[in-house]
Amino acid sequence: MKTTTESFGVTKDGAKATLFTFTNDNGMSVSVTDFGANVVKICVPDKNGNIADVALGFDDVKGYETNENYLGALVGRYANRIGGAKFTLNGTTYEVDKTNGNNCLHGGFKPYGAMMHEYELNEDEDSAGVTFSRLSPGMEQGFPGNLDYSVTYTLTNDNEFIIEYFAVSDKDTILNLTNHTYFNLAGEASGSVYDHLVWIDSDSYTPTDAELIPTGVVAPVEGTPLDFRTEKPIGRDIDADHIDLKNAGGFDQNYALKTTPGDATLVATLKDPASGRKMEVYTDLPGIQFYAGNFLDTKNGKGGHDYGRREGVCFESQFFPNSCNIPAFPWKPLKADEEFNSITVYKFISE
């Protein structure tokens, strides 16, 4: 294993960002930055040994300061949508930022992916990585409780990119942390993902209204174009005549998973048939948002490339969207002094 550090530029506030790159014995590497704990690069060999960067992103920190599509971002304090941008906890109603119409999306106007983090490097014989951490003060983004949180990124010699989340608050709060990396297994500047094959081990999903807020129902995928229990190309059904696809402009749905807290289970796969690159997704969280980049519109990405609609896909492990307002969903507040731990793994193979 090899670890390197280099300058990643200076923010508009004068903070010096650092890029950390971890390279394993197979030639795979992952690069992350202390600005926002953003995932910057994931470089993976194909079936012929050719290495390509499969994560959409930017060449320096300036791109991540105006990262409207959340490329590679750590998302918190509460990922995905909060309906009406408010929630009630212990009898008190809290109002948070309306970042998406009348709703809150991905935490607030200044998300975790736009904040500097402290770091500590970790390395042993078969893995290397870094832990990013910070204190989110009470009422930051409108959420109660001083929240100490961290995210640990680890690359192993088994080509696993492991993300571990930890958090503890001094007051009851709500929490939903995720990562928003966009993947394109043909390479980050190679165009649409229509030919990528997807499998999701889920029998049901959470339908939404026109503002993409879950209705509270958990519906079967059986007989719908949202069914990925048998592997199929993204492009086959993405524009099918279905209300949830029309609401979201394509695939952007939360799938209910068959997971157990603390036990990372294989829940999804993504494959690019041309290169032979395949990614397996493991998590212990109850839901995953499969987002096919329907609203992706990012200028001046890596190498000056503009990322357009459906040029990358996200697999965002999570609690169900708006769980804080829907008691029937599998979620509970984070109690004061209670530790939160979760793990998500992206494992890369070629075949």
Distance CA 218, CA 206 (A): 5
Annotated catalytic residue, options 106, 117, 140, 180 = 180
* DSSP state, residue 62: H
Task: Give the angle subtended at the CA of 152 by the CAs of 147 and 153, to the nearest 5°.
Answer: 145
49 by Cβ neighbours in 10 Å (0-12 / 13-18 / 19+) ranks as exposed
Q: Which amino acid is at 305?
A: H
- Mapped onto helix, strand or coil, the DSSP state of residue 30 is strand
Give the distance, in angstroms, between the CA of residue 66 and the centroid of all CA atoms in the same chain.
17
Number of residues that this document lists for the chain? 351
Is-contact 187 52, C-beta < 8 A? yes
Active site residue 242: no
Q: What is the per-residue DSSP string for 135-169? A: EE-TTGGG--S-EEEEEEEEEETTSEEEEEEEEEE
- Mapped onto helix, strand or coil, the DSSP state of residue 82 is strand
Distance CA 331, CA 194 (A): 33
Active site residue 164: no
- Mapped onto helix, strand or coil, the DSSP state of residue 113 is helix
Active site residues: 180, 316
